[in-house]
Amino acid sequence: MAPTTTAEAYRRAVSPAALAALSIADIPVSADAEATASATVEARNAARSRLYYAADSFDGLIDLIPGDFRVPLREPLKAIQSSAERLIAARNLIAKWEKLRLQGKRPDPWNAKQPVIQFSKDYAESADATAARTALAAKHEEYLSSAFADALAAQQGQ
């Protein structure tokens, strides 16, 4: 690990982690030895939890682990971090797509241009050509909507 700079040391000294470490001293004292021991364990666990929650980076979390366990735990914790980041990204994508679906919209890549059919001039003005264009537009919209719904369901399933 890289040596700690003065700025990092100062930041850690005034961080919630340092305050949590100081709160270990706030262990209640009781006449009952068993109650005191239980309160001590609870206070230490609470302080340890505050230390972990105060870690604002992966390296900050690794620094909280005792030295003997840092090397063996680094890779598994890095894998967990990577999985968590992928999960958060997937959840954000699903939320964004759900919002668009509720608005009756689709993401930009899903808004493909409708194919254009060219008819001869005489036929283009007929009722059959108008019906064919209308049917094509409806089928195209139906395809895009169903493909987006399938993609959203697939994203939710992962």
Instruction: Copy the structure tokens of residue 134.
Output: 């209308």
Is the pLDDT reported for residue 14 higher than 70?
A: no
Q: For residues 68 and 113, what is the distance between their CA atoms, to the nearest angstrom?
A: 60
- In one-letter notation, the amino acid at residue 80 is I
**Residues 23-75 pLDDT 10s:** 555 555 455 656 666 777 787 778 777 777 777 888 888 887 778 888 899 99
User: How high is the pLDDT of residue 135?
Assistant: 93
Q: For residues 115 and 117, what is the distance between their CA atoms, to the nearest angstrom?
A: 7
Q: Are 97 and 153 in contact (CB under 8 A)?
A: no
Q: For residues 54 and 12, what is the distance between their CA atoms, to the nearest angstrom?
A: 10
The domain ranges of the chain are: 1-64, 90-158
Is the pLDDT reported for residue 117 higher than 70?
A: yes
90 confidence band (pLDDT: 50, 70, 90): very high
**Predicted TM-score (pTM) of this structure:** 0.56
